[in-house]
Amino acid sequence: MEKVQEDSQTIKIVSYHDGLARNVADMWMKSKDSWGGTGKTEEQVRDQQQSSDNLDTFLAVLGEEVVGYCGLSVYKEDVGALYVPLLNVRPDLHGKKVGKKLLLHALNVAIEQKWPRLDLYTWAGNLKAVPLYKRCGFFWEDNDKYTHLMNFIPTVRNDDLLNHYLKEMDWYADLQRNLDIKPDGVLENGFTHYEYIWQKEQESVIVKFEKTGRGISSIETKDFQIELTMKNHECIEEIEHQVYLKIKNKTTNLVSLQALAENHGRIQCSFSKTIEVKANEELSFPASFVIAEGVEPVEGKTFPVLKVALSINGMKTSLQVGVLPKSPLSIETKEIEAILAKGMNTYLDLEVKNNLDKDITGRLTIPTNEHLHFTGDKFTFTLAKKEKKWIRIPVRVKNCGSFKERFTCEIFEVEQEVLTIEKEISIGLKGIGEQFIVENDKNWKVYNGPHQFSINKVDQTTEIVDTDFAIFAPSIGKPFSNELSKQKPYQVSTAKTGNSIALKLFFKSGDYPGMDIILTNQLFAEGFIKRWVTVTNNSLVKKEVSLQETFYDSWQNLYFPINGRVVFFNEWNTVLPFELNSKDITGNWYFSSKGSIPFGVAWDKDAHIKMDNWKMHIESTRELRMNESFDFSPICLNIGAYRKWQQWELASEGMMRERESTVVQETVVEFNEGNLILNKHNDLKVKVKTFRNQPLNGDMAITINEKQEDPFPINSEESEIYQIMPQNAVQTGINKIQTTISLPTKEIDTDGLFFVPSERDITTESLEEEGLTVYRVSNGIVSFKASPDYYPGVYSLEVNGKQWLDHSFPKPIAKSWWNPWGGGIKNGPPDLNAFSLLKEVTTCEFTSLKDIHQNEWSGLKLVTTIQHHHKWKGLKYVQYFVTMQGLPLLITFVEIIDDAGNRMAEENWHTNLFITCNEQEKSVLHIKDDKVRNKQFMVADEEQEVNIKDHYYLSLGAEKLYYIASDQSRDIEFYSNKDAIQLISFAKCKRTNNRLLTEPNYLLFTKEEISPSLVDQVRRIGF
């Protein structure tokens, strides 16, 4: 960066360019304590600037350092204003007038470009900045929702008359302001006035601005005082009202006045006056005006304006006030939330308000219509003056769809009719299979069955009902223009296609002449929205067009693909876009499961995603030839069509994965590189990682098997890997580990488990029992047997000498509902019963295999080849039963060797267990779910069937068995009667690395209870 000035202490204001991104990032890092502890990286700065619709970004530079930042854009919430979206000064330079320099520079730009005002937002507790803002000419608007400030100095500086009277004054130095940290303004007759006072020696100039009209309402100089006033801010539509122009001549000379009302918009005023005001004369000129019927203005935007152009002694200025138009009777229809059907009884709820200064009786005449049946054709109600109430009218649904009718309302005062008005009442009557659009003064509402979205007519923001999601008007560029947020479409059309309904809005760009824009939102009955933008280049040259879609969402229970993993952000710890790095996002989707509606957003894989402070941008670019139209790739919104994040990932990416994405928590504490098997002589590696931008900087305490290690400091920005020596705490078998990360703002607790194998070998032996060959495997804790000549599964499973399986070795028998029955554990395909299976050949052999972390497991593999069954002929599959030395764990899964021409994607393979059942020691099923009343199921004479959804275990005395099926499997079925106890789980095969496998099932034995989170971690052992 070039040297700014010889004096390193001189602040210079320059415009941003990407060459300064690193310096800006450094400023944000040094300012992070002022913004919730989060800074910005160089890449984030570039992304934010490239996605910005700023007209310019001003930087305060001190020597070689950027010490201040001020954005300047067109204010999209209202007309006639520029806007400061972000202002920052590095904390060590607070009080050094850096913020003042930036604001005054932005003001000078607004003045030079002849914008009427400059707006910004802050927060009420910004004690340092609010006095600065006021000193620079900003007024704090009194509003309960936000802290909005408006600066009218540009209007003053560009006013011919005021420039004459301020020419000997310094507008900043001579401005007298009350700098109290509270909202500004004086309220009178419903009008709020803001007052500037300039004072130099004995001369003063006082200028008042009216809040809703956003313009000058009064001027006082040494020569005269003039103001535009009316008795009430609220004005009833279509009724004549009075406005007054008051002038006072403070001199001994004549004051020449010319005044002419400027009629535009809804207000029509016939005021016109040319007069010489005599010395010390005070005059008031009334004029009539009428405001036409229309939409009630929105708070925070410019209201309909009554404006009078003035010439005073040949110097031009103007006065104006905003008017709040009101119908004599306001009626707002409230949405019917229920999904309706023909013949259903419901209510039409209306909020009604009397805007007159008198008590009234209202009588609605209900029109005949095809959608709603009313019990009569009249409905009467009473309202005191200015009273508001809601009324409920019983109705019966005749047909679902768009109810839009004009109701005649007669308004009476003490039995005398005052006036008759018509009010349009519109409402959507949702019904299954119904597609329609309802338009009212404020928005378009699109319905398809139970689903609904709306588009705001004021700023084209699209909102999805029952979500916090909002997608704003698209921007084209570059630089990006927010013009569509203030434009009305010149055409609106709808289209129904099959199970969808679409709303199209047509615009012509003013900032990019020749560009036509169509915004299409298509709603599908299944709960899916497709939104895209069509741009047509009608110019005579080829043009590169960029499209930016911007949206906001309140993320809860969020799944986001980051760095090749799906990261889960839970509902208790809100994440905002600026906390994620754009470059780390490795998918084109996210999914959230808040409330009852699963929600997701997906975008084109080739689009650029950029994270801003509280919103996301999706950016695409296309070169358009002359007269070429192009549909930019759509943004897709899931509003219930896809119930799980896995389904949404597949739909968004459009491809099957060899292995499903794994889910990790936003804060990862990973032991032994994710390997659950630890050699007891090795140190334990602990990886600490956060997927947010803010690093973890604090202390970590680790407890292994209730023995706490000494806490140690961590800083994830400097290192993610830490090493501890746990040899004194670990034990053979199951080990539990807890961590507590203590940060300045919170504590993060995690728990984990790992297994430590013993050093003695697994024993295997082939022996003869009852005349059959038996294969036996033992790891010192777990011992299991199989005999393929008896039954194609493991029939015996002992843990510490206790038999867990029921069987009929040496030959199958008839038992209860089953014939033949062999008991034990068996995996198999559907539609192959025991009779058919016993006709096929099964072989057994000892085996060893490695898991995904290269740990070696040993056990049995039973190979079954189907030759006789008509459906499965040619199928060959292997059942694996494996364990590791000293671990109370048996793992079983299936691998298909020959699929016999079957795709093997739909079939549910079963794993069938029969638990030991005897009078001496009965098994008990324990359900560990607070939502379930029945916590235990004991074997008895009567039958019991239980679909197990959540955490549970089986007990035999003090011993516990956790049967951990695949998290993708169906509910586990538990059945018991006086003769048998059966568990069945189901899993589908998946192709991974050219292998066709079911996911493993795990049998974990322990005397202690294990938490659900630890049970889930066992599934990390994969093959």
Q: What is the CATH number of the domain that holds 485?
A: 2.70.98.10
SS3 546: strand
Q: Quick one: three-class SS letters along 914-930? A: EECCCCCCCEEEEECCC
The answer, yes or no, to whether residue 518 has pLDDT greater than 50, is: yes
Which residues, 6 or more positions from 880, have their beta carbon under 8 angstroms from its beta carbon? 847, 849, 859, 860, 861, 891, 892, 893, 894, 895, 1023
Categorize the per-residue pLDDT at 694 as very low, low, confident or very high, splitting at 50, 70 and 90.
confident
| Domain count along the chain | 4
Q: Nearest-CA neighbor of 188 among 215, 210, 206?
A: 210
Mean model confidence pLDDT for the chain: 92
pLDDT 10s digits, 352-375: 999 999 999 999 999 999 999 999
Domain boundary residue among 692, 726, 756? 756
SS3 3: coil
Query: Which range is least confidently modeled, 475-484, 511-520, 715-724, 972-981?
Result: 715-724
Separation CA 441–CA 443 (nearest Å): 6
Model pLDDT, residue 7: 39
The answer, yes or no, to whether residue 657 has pLDDT greater than 90, is: no
Domain boundary residue among 756, 773, 806? 756
SS3 106: helix
Contact 988, 905 (CB under 8 A): yes
The answer, yes or no, to whether residue 8 has pLDDT greater than 50, is: no
Q: Is residue 842 part of a domain?
A: yes
Q: Is residue 540 part of a domain?
A: yes
């099926």: which residue's tokens? 965
Which secondary structure element, helix H or strand E, spans residue 819, and what is its range?
A: strand 818-821
Separation CA 242–CA 232 (nearest Å): 9
Q: How many CA atoms lie within 13 A of 100 on its CB side?
A: 13
Q: Is residue 211 part of a domain?
A: no
Q: At what angle do helices 21-30 and 42-51 cross, to 10 degrees?
A: 110
User: Are 342 and 413 members of one domain?
Assistant: yes
Model pLDDT, residue 1: 27
Separation CA 992–CA 656 (nearest Å): 11
Q: In 100-223, where do the E strands start and end?
A: 117-122, 138-140, 147-151, 175-176, 186-188, 191-200, 203-210, 215-220
Q: Give the pTM.
A: 0.84
Pairing of strands 215-220, 435-439: unpaired
Q: Is residue 744 part of a domain?
A: yes
User: Are 815 and 880 members of one domain?
Assistant: yes
Domain boundary residue among 756, 784, 803? 756
Q: Nearest-CA neighbor of 99 among 74, 73, 124, 120?
A: 120
User: Are 784 and 739 members of one domain?
Assistant: no
Q: In 482-578, where do the E strands start and end?
A: 491-497, 500-508, 515-524, 528-537, 543-552, 558-562, 565-569
Residue 652 CB-density burial (10 A; 0-12 exposed, 13-18 middle, 19+ buried): buried
Tell me the DSSP string of 735-767.
EEEEEEEE-SS-EEEEEEEEEE--SSPPEEEEE
pLDDT 10s digits, 606-622: 999 999 888 999 999 99
The answer, yes or no, to whether residue 36 has pLDDT greater than 70, is: no
Separation CA 537–CA 545 (nearest Å): 9
Give the residue, 214 or 727, on which the prediction is more confident. 214
Categorize the per-residue pLDDT at 9 as very low, low, confident or very high, splitting at 50, 70 and 90.
low
Structure tokens at 890: 């048996």
Separation CA 694–CA 458 (nearest Å): 37
Categorize the per-residue pLDDT at 461 as very low, low, confident or very high, splitting at 50, 70 and 90.
very high
Categorize the per-residue pLDDT at 145 as very low, low, confident or very high, splitting at 50, 70 and 90.
confident
Give the CA radius of gyration of the chain. 38
Provide the residue type at 827 as one letter: N
pLDDT 10s digits, 867-920: 999 999 999 999 999 999 999 999 999 999 999 999 988 899 999 999 997 777
Separation CA 370–CA 401 (nearest Å): 10
The answer, yes or no, to whether residue 659 has pLDDT greater than 70, is: no
Model pLDDT, residue 934: 66
User: Are 740 and 794 members of one domain?
Assistant: no
Contact 988, 907 (CB under 8 A): yes
Which residues, 6 or more positions from 623, have their beta carbon under 8 angstroms from its beta carbon? 542, 543, 544, 545
Count CB-CB contacts under 10 A for residue 941: 7
Q: Is residue 860 part of a domain?
A: yes
The answer, yes or no, to whether residue 162 has pLDDT greater than 70, is: yes
Q: Is residue 1014 part of a domain?
A: yes
CATH number of the domain enclosing 421: 2.60.40.10
User: Are 374 and 478 members of one domain?
Assistant: no
User: Are 794 and 737 members of one domain?
Assistant: no
User: Are 559 and 439 members of one domain?
Assistant: yes
Q: How many CA atoms lie within 13 A of 512 on its CB side?
A: 26
Categorize the per-residue pLDDT at 3 as very low, low, confident or very high, splitting at 50, 70 and 90.
very low
Give Cα 322 to chain centroid, integer Å: 37
CATH number of the domain enclosing 735: 2.60.40
The answer, yes or no, to whether residue 538 has pLDDT greater than 60, is: yes
Contact 310, 319 (CB under 8 A): yes
User: Are 462 and 605 members of one domain?
Assistant: yes
Structure tokens at 275: 């007069």
| Main-chain dihedrals φ then ψ at residue 44, nearest 5 degrees | -65, -40
Q: Is residue 118 part of a domain?
A: no
The answer, yes or no, to whether residue 335 has pLDDT greater than 60, is: yes
User: Are 724 and 811 members of one domain?
Assistant: no
Separation CA 471–CA 773 (nearest Å): 69
Structure tokens at 426: 């519109």
User: Are 958 and 1014 members of one domain?
Assistant: yes
Q: Is residue 639 part of a domain?
A: yes
Domain that holds residue 892: 763-1020
Pairing of strands 952-956, 11-15: unpaired
Separation CA 140–CA 156 (nearest Å): 18
The answer, yes or no, to whether residue 252 has pLDDT greater than 60, is: yes
User: Are 748 and 771 members of one domain?
Assistant: no
Give Cα 576 to chain centroid, integer Å: 9
pLDDT 10s digits, 288-312: 999 999 989 989 899 999 999 999 9
Contact 815, 923 (CB under 8 A): no
Categorize the per-residue pLDDT at 661 as very low, low, confident or very high, splitting at 50, 70 and 90.
confident
User: Are 425 and 439 members of one domain?
Assistant: no
Model pLDDT, residue 6: 36
Handedness of CA 294, 295, 300, 301 (dihedral sign): negative
Which secondary structure element, helix H or strand E, spans residue 44, and what is its range?
A: helix 42-51
Structure tokens at 328: 């004599």
